[in-house]
Amino acid sequence: MVLLKLKGIKMKKYFNLLLISLIFITPQCVQKKSKKPETMLNEIGSGPNHYGVEDFKKIRKIDVHAHINSETTTMINLARANNFKLLNMAVDVDGHNYPPIKEQVRIRSFLQKQDSDVMAFGTAFTLDGWDEPDWSDKVIRQLKSDFDLGAVSVKTWKNIGMEAKDKEGNLIFLDNPKFDPIFKFIESQGKVYISHAGEPKNCWLPLDSMTVKNDFDYFSEHPEYHMYLHPEMPSYEDQIMHRDNVLAKNTGLTFIGAHMASLEWSVDEATKFLERFPNANLDLAERISHTQYQSQRNREKVRDFFIKYQDRILYGTDFGEDDTTDPKELEKYMMEVWQNDWKYFNTDEMIAVPQLDTPVQGLLLPKDVVDKLYRLNAERIFPDAWQ
Q: What is the pTM of this model?
A: 0.88
The CATH number given to whatever domain includes residue 171 is 3.20.20.140
Distance in angstroms between the alpha carbons of the first and the last residue of the chain: 94
Task: Give residue 135's pLDDT.
Answer: 98
- The tens digit of pLDDT for each residue in 161-201 reads 999 999 999 999 999 999 999 999 999 999 999 999 999 99
Task: Give residue 138's pLDDT.
Answer: 98
Task: Give residue 42's pLDDT.
Answer: 38
Closest by CA position to 381, among listed 105, 186, 190, 122: 190
Report yes or no on 287 lying in a domain. yes
Task: Give residue 225's pLDDT.
Answer: 92
Helix (H, G, I), strand (E, B) or coil at 120: strand
**Residue stretches of the chain with pLDDT short of 70:** 1-47
Report yes or no on 42 lying in a domain. no
- The tens digit of pLDDT for each residue in 37-89 reads 333 343 334 568 999 999 999 999 999 999 999 999 999 999 999 999 999 99
Report yes or no on 297 lying in a domain. yes
**For the chain, what is the domain count?**
1
Report yes or no on 322 lying in a domain. yes
Task: Give residue 36's pLDDT.
Answer: 36
Task: Give residue 116's pLDDT.
Answer: 95
Distance between CA atoms of residues 26 and 269, nearest Å: 48
Report yes or no on 197 lying in a domain. yes
Helix (H, G, I), strand (E, B) or coil at 223: helix
Task: Give residue 153's pLDDT.
Answer: 98
Domain with 155, as residue range(s), is: 59-381
What number of CA atoms fall less than 13 Å from residue 115's CA on the CB side?
Answer: 22
